[in-house]
Amino acid sequence: MKYLSLIFRNISRNRVRSILTALGTMVLVLVVTLVWSVLDFLQKATSEKNANIKAIVTEKWQFPSQMPFSYAGPLSEGGPREKGDYRVKPDDSMTWQFYGGSLVQDPKQRNPLENLFAFAMEPRKIMTMMDDLDDLPKRDPKAAEEFKKVIEKMEQTKNGLIVGKDRLKLLNKTVGDKFKIYSINYKGIDLDFEVVGVVPPGRYDGSVFMRRDYLLDGLDQYERNNKKKHPLAEKTLGLVWLRVPDQPTFQKVAKQITTNPAFSSPAVKVETSSSGIGAFLDAYRDLFWGMRYLLAPAIWVTLSLVISNAISISVRERRLEFAVLKVLGFRPGHILWMVLGEALLLGLSAGLLSAGATWYFVNKVMIGIKFPIAFFPAFFIPIDALWWGVMVGGVAALAGSLLPAWSARTVKVSDVFAKIA
Amino acid sequence: MLLSLVLIQKLYIGCALGLLVFVAHALLGRVPLSYNVRNLSLRWKTTAMTALAFTLVMGLLTVMLAFVNGMYLLTISSGQPGNVMILADGSTDESFSSLGYSDIGDIENQAGILHEGEQPLVSRETYLNVNQPIENPRPGRPNRRFVQLRGVNDPVLAGRVHGLSLYDGGTWFSDAGVEEAGEGMSLIQVVLGEGVARVMAGDRTDEQRRSARNPDRLEVGDTFSLGGRQWIVKGLLKSAGSTFDSEVWAKQSLVGPMFGKTASSTLVARTAGPDEAQKLRDFLATEYKKSAVNAQVETKYFENLSATNTQFLYAIAVVAGVMAVGGMFGVMNTMFAAISQRRTDIGVLRLLGFTRGQVLLSFLMESMVIALIGGLIGIALGSLSHGWSTTSVVSGGGGGKSVVLKLVVDQTIIAATLAATLAMGFFGGFIPALSAMRFKPLDTLR
Amino acid sequence: MSKALSVEVRDVHKFFTRGGERLDVLNGLSLDVPQQEFLALMGPSGSGKTTLLNLIAGLDTPSSGEIQVAGAVISQMSEAALATWRTRNIGFVFQFYHLLPVLSALENVELPLLLLPLSAKQRREQALNALDIVGLADRVHHRPGQLSGGQQQRVGIARAIVTDPAIIVADEPTGDLDAKSAEAILELLVQLKSSLGKSIVMVTHDPRAAQRADRTLHLDKGRLVESGMLEHA
């Protein structure tokens, strides 16, 4: 690339302009990266997988789903009845119950920020089944080792609570603190808790986990004290998650469960987590459409306008130089590529830099962007963003510099030097 | 949300005043404006390109704000000023609420509630979120959705309390709530919002739609299936622009048990007006001892639902802000180039006696005019989105309601976008104009 | 084709169209430049001397007629072919030097070599050699802005000879220089002719510059009006 240094010199010739253009490119690439990250995450969350499928079992008709806890055991195995039926392995299932409450007893004094909403489940399953935590040992073995200890602690502490770091801050508590929670949804079941650890930073920064047997004890205690069952006693199970190796197994398990008469009152449905999330997100489809087909393209076009403007200005200022180069024997193609090269170098490197910085800043410093869509607490920038950045910057640069480069290419030597007439 | 709109308005007024002072100054100070305008038209390609960037940014901003505005208007117009909404204690949302039967009768007899004859104007309702499998899902679309089903005890009364009436040709469902369809089949009668009627109309196959009375909307007499039963439309609610537009209403005593919720989730009581509603709410919240309930003035309840709007507005502000910065860099480039091309001109102007301030102003005006041309076209194009229907979700922290909302472009939005345009033009032009101001006249002529 | 001729111009016409009107600049002009001749072209503005120079340099093509330069018929070549041909056969010297301000003297001289299949080392050596010939070996890393007009023109000449072309074409090479620098540049051109065997075609207004040439031709209204042969040792 013997022309590279020439291209580089030309970019650094008007520093202010190149910096402005690069900055413009960077911020616009930033927006596209953010928008695409959200869309990409949702796309991945809703696209069907062929292996290691997670299935959700919920009440068939009603939302929110409220099933009796007696469903928990058989559903966790995949509802097998006959020999030959598929049995889900113990580590491949989890149950979710939801316990919500506040630090404040008087409902009128409550501030929603001091509320907590806990997943009641088996501690062990937090690491084997929860999305983005089940792959922690692979992603970050050190963090996984530490989190394992937190979970062991929870297994020894019945009233233990594992809290996300943001939630912990909102509650103004630290690890080791003990406090009472006055329940909002399980009225009359107020429980004492002790914070045993923090969730690894990321998706669950606002979440809380408690032990399900602690909630079940609370329901039993209520029945003993009040001589009647708690109104939610038979409606405590929200979701059952199952992991199955492949699509045929999923179909088989789904059939096992839906044809099993034990799960008929209320009836249940089985769906893959991606299809469940898809149904949930469908309400936002217009919004996503707008992000994908209005917002991102418009920013992209704006970006190529900004680049095009800068390159046109610089081409106009250098018409004479291009003519000189032509006199020296440079062909129109050389000049075209030189101008395209300047734009490309600028666009590609600003795009890469921007995407890289966004990736680092969002993932490592901010630990996810909080964007209020559906139940996803935070979005992360995938590593793919690096090539998105390069592509967005590059394509915009190419589109923006095509016309100016063509006009540079067609500079007529005799016009520029004409001294006739 | 309100606060942010007020802030935007303030910002706009501030900017408008600034601009006025600016223009006045420019005219009194005899800035060589015609010179700038001439230059803009001479460099029309660059001007157009820069302006086009503004068009895009401002067009997008208009659409995004119209969306939030539509959501805001939807939530504030869903509540009736005189209504009090009563949920079970501790439930922030209807989905999680369950009221005791005996409490209901007692609450209905509290003072302050309007009566129609003997009948207190209180609607007993059960709010359900029901899964509806979609029979013919479009490719790539989910095969089920959530339908918001409201079981109401007395539809006429409910319509009266919520201020909703039916389109011509419709009737409220009967007291039984079902009708015979022959061969031992019975159909559950419903009235439903226009929005959801349109959504469900899209479930039919192309063939069914061709033979339908209205291919785009379920009409009176049309049927749909839900929960393993067939349902028949008796009437369409005039509910556009409220959350009820996405609801299906049926007989409470029928649909409650069908989907496992026997208790009422909600009572909506009508009082004489906003003050009376506030009084009743306060009474129920503090003095009423018979049972603990969560009473809210209905307008307030819906206002809380628009908490999502604030989050969206925040996200939009970030996106728009970043885009604006990007656009500003573009303007700066244009202006820097314009100024360096015209060094000699600036020198001549200065020698003719124009002051530094006037040169600064004239270039500032130039960049603001570019911004304004592009911005105005953008706002005009963005305003075309006015009236677009889109689906979204409103929620106040608890369960969300999916809604059909219309984008609304109004004065406030135009004002806010215009203010953003001028601000971008101003900041984009300021530094280059400063540099123009600092040229030494004799140097430029050398 | 005579081997002794560097440039043969045969009955060349060139017209431009300006605002729908035809403007005849060269009217059936013929001209020979033998090898190793230093030819000066003079004439009032609008006489067509720069147009003729551009045609010889292959920057433009004639409306009719034939031009042979360094053994190639260039009047029929495509634009791309002309560009490639120019690199190897023509060195162009401008009145206003037209060096790229972002490049050093050395890099400016290297520029045409980028078009040839040479290694970086070869390019550098050749460029240094050219700068040495014009007497600027001690200024190789200076930018044009750091050089005087005369020095800049030397860089311009070094750039013109770096590809070792047979012909150097110069358009008012001394037009922007003071008398002393102009004299030095002319001296350099004469040396290039005699020691390196280049043919030189120079357009000039300056009779003193023309005097240093072997021969001066006068143009008026697109024709040669008079030619004289002046011998310089």
* Choice between B153 and A14, residue whose per-residue pLDDT is larger: B153
ipTM for the complex? 0.81
In a domain, C233, yes or no: no
* Span A388-411, average pLDDT: 92
Q: Which two tokens stand for residue B58?
A: 């401002």
Does any CB of chain A come closer than 8 Å to the CB of residue C158? no
CB pairs under 8 A between A and B: 172
List, as ranges, residues 189-228 from A with C-beta within 8 Å of B: none
Q: What share of chain B is helix, strand, coil (3-state, %, to 5)?
A: 55, 20, 25
List, as ranges, residues 274-293 from A with C-beta within 8 Å of B: 275, 278-280, 282-287, 290
Pairing mode of beta strands C215-220, C38-42: parallel
For residue A355, the model assigns a pLDDT of 94
- C166: domain CATH number? 3.40.50.300
- Chain B neighbors of A35, CB-CB under 8 A: 319
For residue C232, the model assigns a pLDDT of 42
* Choice between B324 and B152, residue whose per-residue pLDDT is larger: B152
- Chain B neighbors of A25, CB-CB under 8 A: 326
Q: Are A329 and C115 in contact (CB under 8 A)?
A: yes
Closest by CA position to C164, among listed C209, C107, C232, C109: C109
Closest by CA position to B101, among listed B270, B290, B296, B301: B290
Q: How far is C105 from chain A (nearest CA, A)?
A: 13
Question: Which of B33-42, B157-166, C79-88 is the least confident region?
Answer: B33-42
Q: What percent of chain B stands above pLDDT 90?
A: 33
How buried is residue A258: exposed, middle or buried, by Cβ count under 10 Å (0-12/13-18/19+)? middle
For residue A155, the model assigns a pLDDT of 95
Q: Any residues with CB less than 8 A from the CB of C176 and at least 6 apart, and which?
A: C95, C96, C97, C149, C153
A240 has which bridge partners? A57, A95
For residue A89, the model assigns a pLDDT of 93
Q: What is the mean pLDDT of chain A?
A: 89
Q: Which two tokens stand for residue C164?
A: 């070792």
Q: How far is A317 from chain B (nearest CA, A)?
A: 9
The conformational region for residue A19 under phi > 0 = left, psi -120 to 50 = alpha, else beta, is alpha
Q: What is the mean pLDDT of chain B?
A: 85
For residue A375, the model assigns a pLDDT of 64
Statement: residue A386 has pLDDT above 70: yes
Query: Residue holding tokens 């430049």?
Result: C33
* Choice between A114 and C37, residue whose per-residue pLDDT is larger: C37
Closest by CA position to A190, among listed A120, A100, A123: A100
Question: For C97-134, b where at least 16 C-beta lie within 10 A, e where not — what string?
Answer: bbbbebbbbbbbbbbbbbbeebeeeebbebbbebbebb
* Choice between C117 and B352, residue whose per-residue pLDDT is larger: C117
* Span B184-200, average pLDDT: 91
Task: Going from the first residue of chain C to its last (233 residues), give the mean pLDDT of each consecutive group of 10, the final group possibly shorter.
Answer: 73 86 88 92 86 87 90 85 86 88 88 86 92 91 91 92 91 89 91 90 90 90 67 39
Q: Which chains touch B (3 or more CB pairs under 8 A)?
A: A
* Choice between A419 and B122, residue whose per-residue pLDDT is larger: B122
* Span A276-295, average pLDDT: 85
Q: Are A160 and A211 in contact (CB under 8 A)?
A: yes
* Choice between B37 and A122, residue whose per-residue pLDDT is larger: A122
pTM for the whole structure? 0.80
Question: For C205-215, b where at least 16 C-beta lie within 10 A, e where not — what string?
Answer: ebeebbebbbb
List, as ranges, residues 309-338 from A with C-beta within 8 Å of B: 309-310, 312-313, 317
For residue B330, the model assigns a pLDDT of 85
Does any CB of chain A come closer than 8 Å to the CB of residue C179? no
CA dihedral A326→A327→A328→A333, nearest 10 degrees, is 20
For residue B83, the model assigns a pLDDT of 94
Alpha-carbon distance of B191 to B248, in angstroms, equals 6
For residue C1, the model assigns a pLDDT of 40
Closest by CA position to C95, among listed C187, C185, C207, C166: C185
For residue B21, the model assigns a pLDDT of 65
* Choice between A157 and B358, residue whose per-residue pLDDT is larger: A157
For residue B154, what are the CA distances in angstroms to A24, B106, B111, B121, B248?
60, 18, 21, 10, 14
In a domain, C72, yes or no: yes
In a domain, C119, yes or no: yes
- For A213-248, what is each residue's pLDDT tens digit? 999 999 999 999 999 998 889 989 999 999 999 999
- In chain B, domain spans: 2-77+307-445, 80-304
Q: How far is C152 from chain A (nearest CA, A)?
A: 15
Number of domains in chain C: 1
Q: Which two tokens stand for residue A371?
A: 């964007």
DSSP string, B357-391: HHHHHHHHHHHHHHHHHHHHHHHHHHHTTTT-EEE
For residue C229, the model assigns a pLDDT of 46
- For B258-297, what is each residue's pLDDT tens digit? 888 888 999 999 999 999 999 999 999 888 888 878 899 9
- For B328-349, what is each residue's pLDDT tens digit? 888 888 888 888 888 888 887 7
Give the containing element (helix H, strand E) for C31: strand C21-34
- Chain A neighbors of C90, CB-CB under 8 A: 329
Does any CB of chain B come closer than 8 Å to the CB of residue A413? no
For residue B3, the model assigns a pLDDT of 46
For residue B92, what are the CA distances in angstroms to A101, B397, B400?
12, 8, 11
- Chain B neighbors of A30, CB-CB under 8 A: 322
Alpha-carbon distance of A103 to C179, in angstroms, equals 94
Contact B56 A302 (CB under 8 A): yes
In a domain, C30, yes or no: yes
Q: Are C135 and C158 in contact (CB under 8 A)?
A: no
- Chain A neighbors of C115, CB-CB under 8 A: 328-330, 334
Closest by CA position to C54, among listed B211, A413, A82: A413
- For B365-376, what is each residue's pLDDT tens digit? 888 888 999 999
In a domain, C229, yes or no: no
- For B382-414, what is each residue's pLDDT tens digit? 999 998 888 887 765 555 677 888 899 999 899
Q: Which two tokens stand for residue C13?
A: 């016409």
For residue B291, the model assigns a pLDDT of 80
